[in-house]
């Protein structure tokens, strides 16, 4: 990807040199649409390690997901509606959610991504505990432009999920959902849904997220079993 000027926490992309120039033009002008995909990934090793280490599977997966989405520029894209600039953030961070049983509502939780697992885990756990003390929705997208949506659907091990966004709104950051894992043939698999705007991602790039998740989970566990 050809990048031009560096500015604050993002890089402005020269659309004439962008490697997906023609695709971007088509799906941002002629056929504005998003694309999403759901697949089941094997989380057996991460589930087992989380239990043995006394850590939360949910936070461990959130860390791995954040690491994967920060590993490739295609997943960190955005369009600045004020100027029309196509940009790539240096880093994107997860908006996770806390569900309140008493009100049956959610509170968004802004958690900064750190490559250091221990730092991320400690902060994510603290963010969750703090959010449990409020019932406010607290969405603050204006002050959190480089945050992506990461939502756990804890009540269901689903087979398909589709996120609908208006075709005219070029929202480029990822939206990722995942459900309960379930046992199949002695292994534990978990449904994960990835939504990206078609202007900056196609089937290959979405499918790549699942491959990267599987590989990163394997590396994550292996590194901690040595």
**HSE of 149 in the Cβ direction (CA atoms, 13 Å)?**
18
What are the phi and psi torsion angles at 46 (to 5°)? -70, -40
Is residue 198 among the annotated active site residues?
yes
Q: Which of 26, 100, 144, 198 is catalytic?
A: 198
Task: Give the C-alpha separation, 226 to 217, whole Å.
Answer: 15
Give the separation between CA 59 and CA 50, rounded to whole angstroms: 10
Q: Are 10 and 148 in contact (CB under 8 A)?
A: no
Q: Is the torsion defined by CA of 72, 75, 76, 79 positive or negative?
A: positive
Rounded CA-CA distance 86/24 in Å is: 10
- Write out the H or E segment, with its range, that includes residue 123: helix 117-131
**Integer Cα distance of 145 and 78 in angstroms:** 9
The residues assigned a catalytic role are 198
């Amino acid at each position: 990807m050809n990048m031009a000027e560096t500015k604050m926490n993002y890089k402005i992309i020269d659309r004439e040199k962008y490697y997906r120039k023609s695709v971007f033009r088509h799906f941002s002008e002629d056929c504005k649409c998003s694309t999403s995909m759901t697949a089941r990934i094997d989380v057996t090793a991460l589930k087992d390690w989380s239990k043995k280490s006394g850590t939360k599977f949910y936070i461990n997966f959130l860390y791995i997901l954040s690491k994967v989405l920060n590993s490739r520029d295609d997943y960190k894209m955005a369009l600045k509606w004020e100027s029309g600039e196509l940009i790539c953030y240096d880093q994107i961070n997860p908006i996770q959610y806390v569900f309140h049983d008493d009100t049956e509502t959610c509170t968004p939780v802004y958690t900064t991504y750190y490559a250091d697992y221990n730092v991320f885990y400690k902060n994510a756990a603290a963010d969750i505990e703090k959010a449990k003390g409020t019932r406010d929705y607290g969405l603050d997208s204006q002050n959190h432009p480089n945050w992506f949506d990461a939502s756990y659907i804890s009540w269901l091990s689903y087979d398909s999920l589709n996120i609908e966004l208006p075709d005219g709104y070029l929202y480029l950051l990822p939206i990722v959902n995942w459900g309960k894992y379930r046992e199949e043939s002695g292994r534990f698999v978990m449904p994960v849904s990835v939504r990206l705007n078609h202007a900056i991602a196609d089937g290959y790039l979405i499918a790549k997220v699942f491959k990267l998740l599987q590989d990163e989970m394997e590396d994550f566990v292996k590194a901690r079993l040595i």
